[in-house]
Amino acid sequence: MLLEVENLHVHYGNVEALHGVSLMVRQGEIVAILGANGAGKTTTLSAISGLLRSSAGEIRFEGRSIHKTPAHQLVAMGIAQAPEGRRIFGTLTVQENLSLGAFTQTDRVRIAKNLQWIHELFPVLAERREQLAGTLSGGEQQMLAIGRALMAQPRILLLDEPSLGLAPLLVKAIFQTLWEINSAGVTIVLVEQNAHAALKLAHRGYVMEVGKIVLEDRAEVLLANSQVRDAYLGG
Amino acid sequence: MNRFTSFAVALFVALMAVAPLFLNAYHVDVLNSIGLYGLLALSLNLILGEAGLFNMGHAAFYAMGAYTAAILNTRYQIPILWTLPLSALVAGFFALAVARPVVHLRGDYLLIVTIGVSEIVRIALVNDVFGITGGANGIFGISRPELFGFVIRQPQHFYYLIWGFVAFTIFLFLRLKQSRFGRALNYLREDEVAAEGSGVNTDYYKLAVFGLGAAWAGMAGTLFAAKMTIISPESFSFWESVVLFMIVILGGAGNVAGVLLAAFLVIGLPELFREFSSARMLVFGLVMMVMMLVRPQGLLPAKSRQFSFAELSNKGSFR
């Protein structure tokens, strides 16, 4: 098991946002976490990536307990994320943004190879490498956020709403690339509101409601599930 | 660096090198002041300009350095220039100690805390803490600095000492800016969460830059003590911190040349217009306001780092 989350509780001040979330991710999988606004999807992801501290429960990566490890060390261990709202560096160039992603990496030959791979995945990032990231379109910024996370050569990639605010065609293109990334051996955990696109891509899915996991199954089963259809797929 | 900027830099260095030969003692002394403020502003620029940490208590670290030098010199007769590393250590560690619990604060909150720290330091100095700071009168009788048996006495001599140190600082800080450390600071300034999420140990870099900037301010304090031979708490008032903050923002946070230019303007211009007495500060204030309206990014804003792509992909030379 690559990643295991067990009975995770997270508080924002006095308010408990996650009431015991458990999930697991196998090596090589794409796992989607679905749910409405405020269900706790982003909180779950932030807790895994170490940006939020859990108040109870355990997170294990390759069997090692990581819920007390600082975020920057998790990146070096192989957990990279493209956070919610992309959070690219608008005043820096595309190239600089990508080189930040490789901050934990020291092997220059591998970094260059990796950069080349990312440019193949997202040719637009190669075209616009000297451009300030803030001048990119929303879709390109999302590609940059994913590319930056990949620069850390992660074992597992955490994505928070990669489809947010993007045109349907762009969402399709980005999800196609996510599939390519996964084929190259990177495990992906995807938080999404766009349940349809996410379930078409993912192997398995979890559905969250108010801080709890209420459903988990193979993606095609969830796609066919009447409850999921009613709640997230617009009937 | 293109042709024009290299020419401008060469011209500036040449002018600065011969300036004392043509200027009277008063004007050289003004240049010395500019040099000291330039040094302080460069050190604050690391914290405020490069890392984006709002520090409005820089005078506290300046004071720590000056008092360390003065106390060691007057009580233990340690030659003043020898106290440079010690002043740096004292100011640096003091900064680490005060920054450790507050460095996670953002922007304006950190600003308030640093103002508080500088006031505490100033009031402690006025109240003669441990009986070694001389209270409101300060410390006098600091000996002249000596370099290889040569006693530095005249403003012209101090000029070369101070500006030599400024040159050394510029060289070092430009190198630092190009390094992994410098890059980490910039990421931190742009977006702390994204930096942490990309594997930058943000707490470490924040503390490190606070310590380094303060240590440099400490050394500037030593030079100040050596130049004045008398120091007192009023030299390290809150206003000094404000002026330094202003120099960095006015010059273009994160740009070494801009910060130096602003030091010339902010410190030099009021001296040049002394005959207008109090009206000069009025004009000065107006200039500040106009400046922030028409050019909020500073005189010379920091440029994005440039990469040659061929170099990157062929050699993989990420730093």
Torsion of CA A13, A161, B198, A150, to 10 degrees: 160
Q: Smallest Cβ distance to B199: which of A51, A112, A152?
A: A152
CATH of domain A27-53+69-232: 3.40.50.300
- For an interface test with A, which of B186, B190, B198 has the most A Cβ atoms less than 10 Å from its Cβ? B198
How many residues does the structure list for chain A?
235
pLDDT score of B278 more than 80: no
User: Chain A within 8 Å of B22 (Cβ-Cβ)?
Assistant: no
For residue A148, give the chain B residue with the closest CA: B198
A80 chain-B contacts, CB cut-off 8 A? 198-199
pLDDT for position B319: 39
Give B252 to chain A, closest Cα distance, Å. 14
pTM above 0.90, yes or no: no
Token pair in block for residue B164: 């030599």
Are the Cβ atoms of B313 and A83 closer than 8 angstroms?
Answer: no
Token pair in block for residue A152: 């850390």
ipTM: 0.79
Contact B84, B147 (CB under 8 A): no
Are the Cβ atoms of B312 and A113 closer than 8 angstroms?
Answer: no
Are the Cβ atoms of A115 and B187 closer than 8 angstroms?
Answer: no
- CA dist A57 → A26, A65, A78, A214, B61 (Å): 19, 10, 21, 18, 44
Domain boundaries in chain A?
A: 27-53+69-232
- CA dist B110 → A203, B118, B189 (Å): 46, 12, 14
Average pLDDT over residues A176-199: 93
A152 chain-B contacts, CB cut-off 8 A? 198-199
Are the Cβ atoms of B186 and A92 closer than 8 angstroms?
Answer: yes
A56-61 and A30-35: which strand pairing? unpaired
For residue B302, give the chain A residue with the closest CA: A91
Give A146 to chain B, closest Cα distance, Å. 11
User: Chain A within 8 Å of B157 (Cβ-Cβ)?
Assistant: no
A204-209 and A30-35: which strand pairing? parallel
Q: pLDDT tens for residues B117-157?
A: 999 999 999 988 888 888 888 888 888 887 777 777 788 88
- Find where tokens 């911190």 sit: B241
- Find where tokens 């409601």 sit: A209
- For an interface test with A, which of B178, B304, B318, B319 has the most A Cβ atoms less than 10 Å from its Cβ? B318
Are the Cβ atoms of B316 and A91 closer than 8 angstroms?
Answer: no
Radius of gyration, CA atoms only, chain A: 17
- The residues, ordered by sequence, that sit 6+ positions from B24 with a Cβ below 8 Å of its Cβ are none
For residue A84, give the chain B residue with the closest CA: B194
Q: pLDDT tens for residues B152-193?
A: 778 888 899 999 999 999 999 999 988 889 989 988 888 888
Give A199 to chain B, closest Cα distance, Å. 26
Average pLDDT over residues B213-222: 95
B296 chain-A contacts, CB cut-off 8 A? none
Contact B191, A89 (CB under 8 A): yes
pLDDT score of B89 more than 90: yes
How high does pLDDT run on average in chain B? 85
Give A69 to chain B, closest Cα distance, Å. 12
pLDDT for position B151: 77
Q: Smallest Cβ distance to B190: which of A92, A110, A111?
A: A92
pLDDT for position B68: 93
Q: pLDDT tens for residues A57-116?
A: 999 999 999 989 999 999 999 999 988 878 888 888 999 899 888 998 888 899 999 999
**Using CA atoms, how far apart are residues B144 and B222, in angstroms rounded to an integer?**
12
Give A38 to chain B, closest Cα distance, Å. 21
Q: Smallest Cβ distance to B197: which of A49, A108, A113?
A: A49
- For every residue of chain A, which 3-state class applies, written as one string? CCEEEEEEEEEECCEEEEEEEEEEECCCCEEEEEECCCCCHHHHHHHHCCCCCCCEEEEEECCEECCCCCHHHHHHHCEEEECCCCCCCCCCEHHHHHHHHCCCCCCHHHHHHHHHHHHHHCHHHHHCCCCEHHHCCHHHHHHHHHHHHHCCCCCEEEEECCCCCCCHHHHHHHHHHHHHHHHCCCEEEEEECCHHHHHHHCCEEEEEECCEEEEEEEHHHHHHCHHHHHHHCCC
Is the pLDDT higher at B292 or at A65? Answer: A65
pLDDT for position B197: 86
Are the Cβ atoms of B200 and A100 closer than 8 angstroms?
Answer: yes
Q: pLDDT tens for residues B299-313?
A: 777 765 655 555 555
Give B304 to chain A, closest Cα distance, Å. 6
A116 chain-B contacts, CB cut-off 8 A? 313
